[in-house]
């Protein structure tokens, strides 16, 4: 059984990931990898090398991609998966997870999150601080649901989309892949075209 964790990325998102990992009390040691050679430690946790070194440590560590950018996180996690890396999911102890909720590898669920029953969260997702995801949602791989975002029941968010801080998605709404929903936007109708959506109700700006 692997009892050591490597986190790729020692900056803002990586620090929150590390904080959750520490609170889970699952690993006897935690270390960072980061490509910025000037960062020697973060959160009091040592940076032991660059991100590429994850691939030489696959046998000895669980590896988590602590990078906020959806596309970058996806590229790195896919490479790790192809090499057979053990990629955990991380859940803050204060999160409330309902019955029959599925969380796939590389997903982090942060403090104060509520995920209600019968929801599926894909790989490499960020369910950020205080967000709520209600019943029967489908959140596909590498989606970021920002702090304080709220999704009603039976919402589907496709791969790689990003929902900004404080955004709201009404029930039975579909959001296509690679979309950006701005801070505070309210999505009342299906979004079927990739782009950036802002406002109340949300409308496409590019």
**Where are the chain's structural domains?**
4-88, 89-196
Closest to 171 measured CA to CA, from 158, 150, 154, 156: 154
Which residue numbers are catalytic? 135
Query: What pLDDT, in 10s, does the model give residues 69-95?
Result: 999 999 999 999 999 999 999 999 999
- The mean-pLDDT minimum among 37-41, 88-92, 120-124 falls in 37-41
Nearest to 15 by CA among 27, 23, 7, 24: 7
CATH 1.10.3720.10 fits 89-196, yes or no: no
Q: Is this model's pTM higher than 0.85 or not?
A: yes
CATH number of 4-88: 3.40.50.20
Calculate what percentage of the chain has a pLDDT beyond 70.
100
Residue 108 pLDDT exceeds 80: yes
77 and 123 Cβ atoms separated by less than 8 Å: yes
- Residue 192: burial class (beta carbons within 10 Å; 0-12, 13-18, 19+): exposed
Confirm if 142 and 159 have CB atoms less than 8 A apart.
yes
Terminal alpha carbon distance of the chain: 48
| DSSP β-ladder status, 180-181 and 162-163 | parallel
Phi then psi dihedrals of residue 37, to 5 deg = -65, -15
CB atoms closer than 10 angstroms to residue 152: 17
């Amino acid at each position: 059984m692997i009892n050591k964790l490597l986190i790729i990325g020692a900056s803002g998102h990586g620090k929150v990931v590390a904080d959750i990992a520490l609170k889970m009390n699952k690993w006897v040691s935690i270390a960072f990898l980061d490509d910025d050679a000037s960062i020697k430690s973060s959160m009091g946790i040592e940076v032991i090398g660059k991100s590429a070194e994850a691939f030489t440590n696959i046998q000895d560590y669980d590896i988590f991609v602590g990078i906020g950018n959806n596309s970058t996180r996806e590229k790195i996690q896919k490479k790790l998966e192809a090499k057979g890396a053990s990629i955990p999911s991380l859940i803050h102890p204060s999160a409330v997870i309902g019955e029959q909720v599925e969380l796939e590898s590389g997903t982090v669920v942060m403090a104060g999150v509520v995920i209600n029953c019968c929801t599926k969260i894909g790989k490499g997702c960020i369910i950020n601080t205080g967000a709520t995801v209600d019943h029967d949602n489908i959140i596909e791989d590498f989606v970021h649901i920002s702090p304080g975002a709220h999704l009603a029941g039976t919402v589907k968010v496709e791969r790689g989309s990003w929902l900004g801080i404080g955004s709201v998605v009404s029930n039975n709404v579909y959001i296509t892949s690679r979309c950006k929903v701005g801070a505070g936007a309210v999505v009342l109708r299906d979004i079927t075209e990739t782009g950036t959506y802002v406002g109340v109700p949300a409308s496409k700006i590019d």
